[in-house]
Amino acid sequence: MAANMTQADVRGKRVFVRVDFNVPMDESLRITDETRIRAALPTIRYLREKGAKVILASHLGRPKEGFEAKLSLAPAAAALGRLIGTPVIMAPDCVGAETAALVDKMLPGDVLLLENLRFHAEEEKNDDAFAKELASLADLYVNDAFGSAHRAHASTAGIAAYLPACAGFLMEKELNFLGNALSAPERPFVAVIGGAKVKDKIGVVENLLTKVDTLIIGGGMAYTFLKAQGYDVGKSLLDEERLEFASAVLKQGAEKNVRILLPVDVVAAKEISAASPRRFTSAAEIAPDEMALDIGPETAKLFSAVVREARTVLWNGPMGVFEIEAFAAGTNAIAAALADCTGVTIVGGGDSGAAVEKAGLADKMTHVSTGGGASLEFLEGKALPGVTALKQGD
């Protein structure tokens, strides 16, 4: 791989850029959040300035089979055109003669967006002939789709076998921030893990236990850990099958000298609803018919203090059901503490990222990752196929 996109000579070349334009849209096909498109702008602008012909490719949603108007990338082409101040050519497909003819007509600086890759089942199968056909459109492959790097698909992995390949700026930035945090964090290094499911984050917790000084566990995950310590958690989220895992984590923490912090108080209610009356209570006194839906104010204070003093903070997963204002205070407190922290602050995970955006604190973070699943797998210490593929040409 050309170590770096800036080392490749791209003038007049056709550059295939895998981006992540898997953006949310409303009923009338209006894009409701352009963050992912904006995140690809540095790479797109750079390539245009250098006189490349920029061919963009992405997936959008989960099409069943073939073209579906509501999963067309055309709205993304329009949004991108507005952001870069020049029309973006929308191709009717990502492969085929008509698309190839459009590419042939491109001039240096032109930007073309291929239609949704997943209109072809071969994309997700990492079909070799399909990867080769995508590659035939270009002279160079740039992967800037960090959010899809944990998938071995034709456009994220297979294609790299047929073209010189390198990472785009967004991909590099993601790998640098997440990679440095894991391999050479300034200490104290604090991880804050929350969200709903223990199952989803086992790998992350295991890997981080070997790296952090303090592990803070909040959100719906925390109650499996509290239960493992012998507390009654009422009707709070509980993963019975993973009580042993939780016990093992607590034990390892003690052995490895990693401080593990759990909620000491909670916001409890009988239903997950804004209308349900709330009760602030100690984590030891959750009633049998109650659910803990947020960390309590004491816990928020305790967690925030640790976060503020850290030199590196990694946050994945909200502290409560933050979608409902009545249970958002804990999550907002953690977001504010990261914003106050003068060390490196990294937010990974779709919902945590959304919480930070909603609090208006995104630009106070060192880095907000654009890749939910990909950042989780990275934090688990797994190799990402989309990244591995870039290295195979070395």
Q: Spell out the alpha helix ranges (H) of the chain.
A: 35-39, 41-49, 74-84, 97-104, 128-135, 169-183, 198-209, 222-228, 243-256, 297-309, 329-340, 350-358, 372-379, 385-391
Among 351, 375, 379, 389, binds Mg ion (CB under 5 A): 351
CB distance 316 to 195 below 8 Å: yes
Among 147, 185, 343, 349, binds ligand ADP (CB under 6 A): 349
Which one of 4-12, 226-234, 314-322, 385-393 is the stretch in contact with ligand ADP (CB under 6 A)? 314-322
CB of 304 to Mg ion, least distance (A): 22
CB of 195 to ligand ADP, least distance (A): 2
78-104 burial, b at 16+ Cβ within 10 Å, e below that, comes to ebbbebbeeebbbbebbbeeebeebbe
CB distance 354 to 328 below 8 Å: no
CB distance 214 to 306 below 8 Å: yes
Nearer to ligand ADP, 116 or 316 (CB): 316
Tell me, by CB under 5 A, how many residues bind Mg ion.
2
Among 204, 293, 379, 387, binds ligand ADP (CB under 6 A): 293
CB of 289 to ligand ADP, least distance (A): 15
CB of 288 to ligand ADP, least distance (A): 16
CB distance 190 to 214 below 8 Å: yes
Identify the active-site residue in 132, 197, 259, 301.
197
- Helix and strand numbers (H, E) in the chain are 14, 15
Q: What is the distance between the alpha carbons of residues 232 and 200, in angstroms, rounded to a whole number?
A: 23
Partner from ligand ADP, Mg ion, none binding residue 253, C-beta < 5-8 Å depending on class: none
CB of 351 to ligand ADP, least distance (A): 3
Q: Is 308 a catalytic residue?
A: no
Tell me the sheet residues that pair with 192.
216, 315
Q: Is 242 a catalytic residue?
A: no
What is the dihedral sign for C-alpha 142, 383, 150, 147? negative
Which one of 7-15, 174-182, 223-231, 350-358 is the stretch in contact with Mg ion (CB under 5 A)? 350-358
Among 350, 353, 371, 385, binds Mg ion (CB under 5 A): 350
Q: Reading across the β-sheet that carries 214-217, which strands appear in turn?
A: 259-261, 214-217, 189-193, 312-316, 344-347, 367-368
Helix (H, G, I), strand (E, B) or coil at 347: strand
Identify the active-site residue in 253, 350, 353, 372.
350
Is residue 63 within the footprint of ligand ADP (CB under 6 A)?
Answer: no
Residues in Cβ contact with 8 at an 8 Å cutoff, skipping those fewer than 6 apart: 2, 140, 164, 166
Which one of 36-44, 131-139, 162-170, 311-319 is the stretch in contact with ligand ADP (CB under 6 A)? 311-319
Identify the active-site residue in 36, 48, 173, 201.
36
The dihedrals phi and psi of 89, each to the nearest 5 degrees, come to -75, 125
Q: Is 320 a catalytic residue?
A: no
Nearer to ligand ADP, 219 or 385 (CB): 219
The tokens for 198 are: 């223990």
Is residue 220 within the footprint of ligand ADP (CB under 6 A)?
Answer: yes
User: Which helix H or strand E contains 293, and what residues bound it?
Assistant: strand 291-295
- Please, is 364 exposed, middle or buried when counting C-beta atoms within 10 Å of its C-beta (0-12, 13-18, 19+)? middle
Is residue 238 within the footprint of ligand ADP (CB under 6 A)?
Answer: no
Is residue 316 within the footprint of ligand ADP (CB under 6 A)?
Answer: yes
Q: Is 70 a catalytic residue?
A: no
Q: What is the distance between the alpha carbons of residues 383 and 46, in angstroms, rounded to a whole number?
A: 28
Is residue 163 within the footprint of ligand ADP (CB under 6 A)?
Answer: no
Site string for ligand ADP, 248-287 (x = CB under 6 A): ----------------------------------------
Identify the active-site residue in 109, 203, 373, 381.
373
Residue positions annotated with a catalytic role: 36, 197, 350, 373
Site of interaction with Mg ion (CB under 5 A) = 350-351
Site of interaction with ligand ADP (CB under 6 A) = 194-196, 200, 219-220, 237, 292-293, 316-318, 320-321, 323, 349-352, 372
